[in-house]
Amino acid sequence: MSSITGEHQATGSKKVWTTLITNTAYLSGLLTLDHSLKKAGSKYLLVALYTDSFSLEGHAALDSRKIAKQRIPYLLPFAKKDYSNDTRFYDCWSKLTPFSLVEYERVVQLDSDMLVLQNMDELMELELDSPALGGKGSRVFAASHACVCNPLKRGHYPKDWIPANCAFTTQHSCPNLAQTTGAPPAAGLGIPNGGLQVVNPSKDTYNMIVAKLEAPSTSNYDFADQSLLADVFPGRWVSLPYVYNALKTLRWKGVHDTIWRDERVKNIHYILIPKPWDENEVERKGEGGTCQDRGSVSSWWWDFTKERWEEEKAKGIYDGF
């Protein structure tokens, strides 16, 4: 069966994890993400959604590990937007493609800089609107909130990205509830984080997204795909607790450490740079580093990766990823 985009599905399963890959810069992350899903005992496969920019070397790495893959088009809006301060956002539009993959009943899109620490197969059963509603219902997709605190005080971020406007701030008084319940979708600035999206693919829903991609207003979107989702489906998405998309910055002292619990996190998201795989040994040990997560959450990723390398070594896989 083919998707709306005309490509053939990578597996016969009706429910899949997917992750976008456009180049080998994130390939180590993808491979460890796949390893972590398997270690967590997930019943579902990860499918790598690749674009034409993905190299032959990258394909060989996926093939040698028998990771399913599926070609998708590289999405960009009609209106031009300068993302030179955050070039990653040029790729982020393609993370909207899972809404088009109608050959699947359920797609859970994950960023490749994530690490699954606990089984979260329950996301495959989460109640969402039927595709027949065509994006008009109240539960179009599920995601966790974006953190709008701007802890690094980046000057090009919107002026309203401050702790007082953050949905997670509203949960500081009830940290136990925050482990199992997300703030309402309209809380704070009402913006979902695009790193994890739970989707029932739908032609009509995807057509709504494409129509917005063709509109001039996308030139005002500071955060690409997640800005679009917040605009097209305001308050009409299911808010997941932070544990499913635990942005590493939430753990920093003075950000949202009030609600963070290491033992409750199911999926950590290594947002911003450097990524764990780009850190040197000194940074990984927390010696002389500036990020509050070095020597701690980055080491989680390295523990999984070293375990992956040992398993690959036993299978004769040596490719540097």
Amino acid 290: pLDDT: 45
162 band by pLDDT with thresholds 50, 70 and 90: very high
Query: In terms of DSSP bridges, do strands 46-50 and 246-247 run parallel, antiparallel, or are they unpaired?
Result: unpaired
Residues 6+ apart with CB under 8 A from 123: 108, 142, 198, 240, 244
User: Mean pLDDT, to the nearest integer, of 70-86?
Assistant: 80
For the chain, give every domain's residue range. Answer: 15-314
**249: nearest Cα among 285, 298, 193, 292:** 292
Residues 6+ apart with CB under 8 A from 252: 151, 292, 293
Q: What is the pLDDT of residues 185-228, one digit of tens each?
A: 999 999 999 999 999 999 999 999 999 999 998 888 888 899 99
Q: Which helix (H) or strand (E) holds 232?
A: helix 224-232
Dihedral pair phi/psi, residue 204, rounded to 5°? -70, -40
SS3 106: strand
Q: What is the pLDDT of residues 257-312, one digit of tens each?
A: 999 999 999 999 999 989 999 986 445 554 333 455 545 899 999 999 999 999 99
Q: What single-letter amino acid sits at 32?
A: T
Please give the Cα distance from 220 to 228 (Å, whole number).
Answer: 10
A 10 A CB-CB count for 8 gives 10
User: Mean pLDDT, to the nearest integer, of 31-36?
Assistant: 98
**pTM, full prediction:** 0.92
Q: What is the DSSP-derived secondary structure letter of residue 145?
A: B
**Higher-scoring residue by pLDDT: 76, 9:** 76
**240: nearest Cα among 284, 196, 305:** 196
User: Mean pLDDT, to the nearest integer, of 238-259?
Assistant: 97
CATH 1.10.3720.10 fits 15-314, yes or no: no
Residue labelled with tokens 């925050």: 178
Please give the Cα distance from 125 to 310 (Å, whole number).
Answer: 33
**Could you give the percent of the chain with pLDDT greater than 70?**
89
Please give the Cα distance from 147 to 42 (Å, whole number).
Answer: 27
106 band by pLDDT with thresholds 50, 70 and 90: very high
